[in-house]
Amino acid sequence: DAKTTQPNSMESNEEEPVHLPCNHSTISGTDYIHWYRQLPSQGPEYVIHGLTSNVNNRMASLAIAEDRKSSTLILHRATLRDAAVYYCILSGANSKLTFGKGITLSVRP
Amino acid sequence: GAGVSQSPSNKVTEKGKDVELRCDPISGHTALYWYRQSLGQGLEFLIYFQGNSAPDKSGLPSDRFSAERTGGSVSTLTIQRTQQEDSAVYLCASSLATSLRNTQYFGPGTRLTVL
């Protein structure tokens, strides 16, 4: 499965935008880019996914580079409830998700 | 609607005992996945089901681990002769089908502690 690289952690202030980067230089043409997040003591939660075009939903936006070798998850206004581990994942065979360590987002009030 | 449910939420067992973990997927979801998460680590894929069959068992760590799914719905993950290194949170997820874009919905997990 193609690998993703994320920073270990990021801090943000409440009500400010947050940009979470992800590198995936070995992405294949059919891989979707998925983002999940995991709040403390909970199972992962789907955030957003995309293939080539930028995507928006009620939770976040996903900006995908033209060469698809990187992407950025954008939280438009961070809240304290957004503090979580965010995983950037490329879909593999049989849609098995290979989770890395993710990026830990802290939100300051 | 009801999400993915797992039982028990917590299980404490003694080394050498067998345990069974249960997952109830979202109704209508044909694909079901098992993962485990050790303390402070990311999720590790174990096995997935499409219907009642398991085309990919590659993640099962040893032959002490097995899983089955009946009626295309409930799945049971069984760990025989548990070891302390089996202690982890076991997570189940389901999706409408297995495709590269299908969203997986996760349950709350079962926290297994092997003493």
Q: What pLDDT is stored for residue A96 in this prediction?
A: 72
- Is A58 a residue whose pLDDT tops 70? yes
Q: What pLDDT is stored for residue B62 in this prediction?
A: 93
**Which band of pLDDT confidence, cut at 50, 70 and 90, is reported for residue A101?**
confident
Which helix or strand (DSSP H or E) is residue B75 part of?
A: strand B75-79
Could you check whether the bond before residue B8 is cis, i.e. omega within 30 degrees of 0?
yes
For residue B56, the chain A residues in CB contact (below 8 A) are: 93-94, 96
Cβ distance B45 to A97 less than 8 Å, yes or no, reads yes
- Is B35 a residue whose pLDDT tops 90? yes
Give tens-digit pLDDT for A1-26: 568 999 999 999 999 999 999 999 99
Cβ distance B103 to A30 less than 8 Å, yes or no, reads no
Q: What pLDDT is stored for residue B92 in this prediction?
A: 96
Give one DSSP letter per residue of chain A, joined into a string.
----B--SEEEEETTS-EEEEEE-TT--TTPPEEEEEE-TTS--EEEEEESSS-EE-SS-EEEE-TTSSEEEEEESS--GGG-EEEEEEEB-GGG-B-----EEEEEE-
Q: What pLDDT is stored for residue B23 in this prediction?
A: 97
Cβ distance A95 to B41 less than 8 Å, yes or no, reads no
Q: What pLDDT is stored for residue A97 in this prediction?
A: 79
Q: What pLDDT is stored for residue A2 in this prediction?
A: 64
Q: What pLDDT is stored for residue B98 in this prediction?
A: 66
φ, ψ of residue A93 to 5 degrees: the values are -60, 140
For residue A97, the chain B residues in CB contact (below 8 A) are: 33, 35, 43, 45, 104
When the pLDDT of each residue in chain A is averaged and rounded to a whole number, the result is 92
Give tens-digit pLDDT for A78-87: 999 999 999 9
Nearest by Cα to A30 from A94, A99, A100, A102: A94
Give the closest of B45, B100, B102 to A30, CB-based: B100
Cβ distance A32 to B101 less than 8 Å, yes or no, reads yes
- Is B53 a residue whose pLDDT tops 80? yes
Q: What pLDDT is stored for residue A92 in this prediction?
A: 66
The alpha carbon of residue B66 and the mean position of all alpha carbons in its chain are separated, in whole angstroms, by 10
- Is B37 a residue whose pLDDT tops 80? yes
Shortest CA gap B2–chain A (Å) = 15
The tokens describing A31, both together, are 């891989």
Q: What pLDDT is stored for residue B100 in this prediction?
A: 63
Cβ distance B101 to A93 less than 8 Å, yes or no, reads no
Give tens-digit pLDDT for B77-91: 999 999 999 999 999
**Which band of pLDDT confidence, cut at 50, 70 and 90, is reported for residue B54?**
confident
B→A contacts (Cβ < 8 Å), by residue, are 4, 31, 33, 35, 41-45, 48, 50, 55-56, 91, 93, 95, 98-109
User: Count of A–B CB contacts within 8 Å?
Assistant: 62
Cβ distance B35 to A101 less than 8 Å, yes or no, reads no
